Amino acid sequence: MAKRISVSETPTCEVSCRHDDVLERVRHGLTEPEVLRWVAALFKVMGDPSRLQIVNALILSEMCVCDLAALLKMTPSAVSHQLQILRQSDLVKWRREGKVIYYSLDDEHVSNVFYQGLVHVNEKHHP
């Protein structure tokens, strides 16, 4: 008879074991810690709902700060602050047209990360 485990309990091995073949294979495939720090920083930046709203909007269209502020019901100052964080993380880029600055995603990887997150959440929480 299988042991029932509560949702809050994390299952662990009931015996001490070690699979050296698995350890060796995985050890050689691990990503360098420095690279993982950069990935963690990316997820930290993407972990803010306001920034995700901006990314979501920029997936659909290049936009200026004024339009983003109106769309998201934020002040231009608040949008600019979030865009600065996204820009410093190489997630968005800008271009000038006269006196107007337009923002867009830096590359398709940004939208891929966003959409992969949506797919995961929708599969787990909205089947």
User: Is 1's pLDDT higher than 70?
Assistant: no
The pLDDT tens digits of the residues spanning 19-50 come to: 999 999 999 999 999 999 999 999 999 999 99
49-125 has CATH 1.10.10.10 classification:
yes
Q: CA–CA separation, 101 vs 86, rounded Å?
A: 15
* Whether the Cβ atoms of residue 57 and residue 98 lie closer than 8 Å to each other: no
As a whole number, the mean pLDDT across the chain is 93
The pLDDT tens digits of the residues spanning 86-123 come to: 999 999 999 999 999 999 999 999 999 999 999 999 99
pTM score of the predicted model: 0.83
Q: CA–CA separation, 105 vs 93, rounded Å?
A: 6
Q: What is the 3-state secondary structure (H, E, C) of 56-116?
A: HHHHHCCEEHHHHHHHHCCCHHHHHHHHHHHHHCCCEEEEEECCEEEEEECCHHHHHHHHH
Each domain of the chain, given as residue ranges in start order, spans 49-125
Average pLDDT over residues 3-22: 82
